[in-house]
Amino acid sequence: MSPNSIRVWDPLVRIGHWLLVVAFVVAYVTEGDPLTIHVWAGYTVAAVVVVRVVWGFVGPRRARFSDFLYAPATAVRYLRDLVLRRAPRYLGHSPAGGLMVVALLVCLAATTITGMMTLADSANAGPLAPWFGNQAVVEQRATAEAAGQRFRYRSPYKEPHEMLANLTLLLVILHIGGVALASFAHHENLPRAMVTGMKRAE
């Protein structure tokens, strides 16, 4: 450990971050085909989101929402100053970074919930099947397949699920751009910090 470095991100934050990256990419790329991989990638995203939200209240200082939640106006001012290369450096999440964390968690949660609603409605499966299951669709599919026919059914929850997934992807792209800009402006490798947990102390 360098004498000029300090540990900022704990293992749970770092592992959760990269698990979300991998699971979201897998879920987005598979788009339900094969369904098993898509579903389990979605479950992984949902589980990590739940753990991260809990950790945001009980985890160490830099992991807590109270450490990086600012008013939206503060985040906008930070972004403006970042572009002008005069934004102050934050040891934890910046105001814009904190806002992005919350936005991503909300969108990921909404994406996985609508995904589970879609699974329940179209296959009568998953944890939301008791509330959104559609046995009639399952029976119609079985009847069609028994007759050698192709069964087509598009759940009403699928379009919101896809829209939320695309919105999340847009946020991810903006997040990557913001990280790159902040890394350049503050002369530090933020992606590496999310791997090692260490950042420059001053």
Quick one: pLDDT at residue 25? 97
Give the C-alpha distances (Å, rounded to integers) separating 71 from 11, 63, 98, 99, 123: 28, 18, 10, 9, 42
pLDDT-derived band at 2 (thresholds 50, 70, 90) equals low
pLDDT-derived band at 1 (thresholds 50, 70, 90) equals low
Q: What phi and psi values does residue 86 have, to the nearest 5 degrees?
A: -130, 15
Q: What is the pLDDT of residues 71-127, one digit of tens each?
A: 999 999 999 999 999 999 999 999 999 999 999 999 999 999 999 999 999 999 999
pLDDT beyond 90 at 4: no
**Of 48, 46, 66, nearest in space to 57 by CA:** 66
* Residues of the chain above pLDDT 90, percent: 93
Q: What phi and psi values does residue 51 have, to the nearest 5 degrees?
A: -60, -40
Q: What is the pLDDT of residues 164-192, one digit of tens each?
A: 999 999 999 999 999 999 999 999 999 99
Per the structure, the complete domain to which residue 188 belongs is given by 5-200
Question: What amino acid occupies position 52?
Answer: R
Q: What is the pLDDT of residues 11-40, one digit of tens each?
A: 999 999 999 999 999 999 998 788 999 999
Quick one: pLDDT at residue 3? 66
CATH number of domain containing 54: 1.20.950
Domains contained in the chain, number: 1
Q: By the 8 A CB rule, do 52 and 11 touch?
A: no
Q: What is the pLDDT of residues 136-158, one digit of tens each?
A: 999 999 999 899 998 889 999 99
